[in-house]
Amino acid sequence: MILLSVVAAIAGLFGFPGAGGDLQTGSLNARAITIVESSHRIEFPDRIVFTLEADAPPDVQSARLYYTVGPHDVKVYTYPVRFTNSENIEAEFIVNTGKDGFIPQGVEIEYYYVFTDSLGNLTVSDSRTFEYLDPRYDWRRLSMDDFTIIWHNRPERVVRRTAADVSIRMRAVRELFGLEGNYDFKAVIINSRAEADRSFPPVSDTSQDTFLYGGFAFNRYDVLVVAGLNRDSLIHELTHLMFDERLDSPRAKPPAWLNEGIAMYFEPGGGYRQSDVQRAFRSGNLIPLRHMRSVPGRPDDVRLFYSQSASVVRFMMDEFGPERMDTLLTEINEGRKIDEALIATYGVGVDELDRGWRRYLAGETSIFQIRDPGALGTSAIIGAALLVTTSAVLIRWLKNLRKSSQPTDDEEEL
């Protein structure tokens, strides 16, 4: 049984250390508990087994394992599947890492133990940290500017060449997103279909059977896992992680087509998907942009979804430039829905953008005459003033014309 702990409540009640700390804390007895042995065994991809042996007073009645996964502070705890305390404590804990509790490779796991005696006193052990990787391989690593590649059974020179190319191309992503911080994402490279089956998260049996996805980015852990040393896949998933850094507000709800489209926009070899879009356009099978807030389920729909997303974002970049895209992301980050954000940035909503993109596919002239939406009010005022002025001049001219056409007194007498 695994329960999510309420971190603030536990920390406030018991004074648990976040990392490290003395063996004793809270309302403890002075009687020491000595860790004789603490170890973990990764049974990839299903579980991690923690084994504990400690010298402790006989009234210590229970032990719990607390752990955190990745850079977040959310602590999870589990009770032992085996616990005895006769002459010393012996305990075993299991953390499931497969379908029911998937954990991606490359994350760091920090853990410690909490002991409780018969009077309710607590003792907290020091913490330990390890990296979650398939132990059957000899993993190597290479650090670049924004990421570290973790790989096995590949020549280092090949990995280094690909990593250098990716690192250079990621500068354009940084520039678009306006990111200036220091990042150290982890990119885990796996080598085979069998490894992918063990390493990728459970999506569906169909996607797994068809090998639909070549990689995944895990934003909450700053980790990505890709099948093969593929430049495009690395750039794609790293862009997802950068995208998450750019939209750092909990109010930001970007549609999936924008997220995937931007990631594919930066793939050097991503242009081949445009032919898929053109075929779907000619056959009338394009997905309405309004229906692309999330990735569909069927493999054929997924492929078209990715191709359309790439095409729409490329159209937006070509038509309006990267500055507008940065403004759009700012609008989304401030909590605006995609329709509102598009109107504020481009002056058009989702449906108008969709129609303009389809005209673009047909080779027709763009329907967009984009101006700065912030200047629309000023333009309207100026236009109204010109209209009033023109109307006044016209009325005055008509009056003068009418007056000049009327006969004078002398003319009437004639």
Give the whole-angstrom CA distance, residue 274 versus residue 285.
Answer: 14
Decide: 350 and 290 in contact? Cβ < 8 Å.
yes
Burial status of residue 389 (CB atoms within 10 A of its CB: 0-12, 13-18, 19 or more): exposed
- Residue 12, CB half-sphere, CA atoms under 13 Å: how many? 4
Give the whole-angstrom CA distance, residue 277 versus residue 275.
Answer: 5
Give the whole-angstrom CA distance, residue 13 versus residue 86.
Answer: 29
Beta strands 108-117 and 122-124 are antiparallel
pLDDT tens track for 213-261? 899 999 999 999 999 999 999 999 999 999 999 999 999 999 999 999 9
- The 10 Å Cβ neighbour count of residue 411 is 8
Weakly modelled stretches of the chain, pLDDT under 50: 1-30, 209, 370-395, 397-398, 401, 403-414
Which pLDDT value is given to residue 87?
84
Give the whole-angstrom CA distance, residue 325 versus residue 262.
Answer: 10
pLDDT tens track for 3-49? 333 333 333 333 344 333 334 444 444 468 999 999 999 999 999 99
From the list 58, 165, 174, 67, the residue with the least C-alpha distance to 117 is: 58
Which pLDDT value is given to residue 396?
54
Give the total residue count for the chain: 414
Give the whole-angstrom CA distance, residue 392 versus residue 387.
Answer: 9
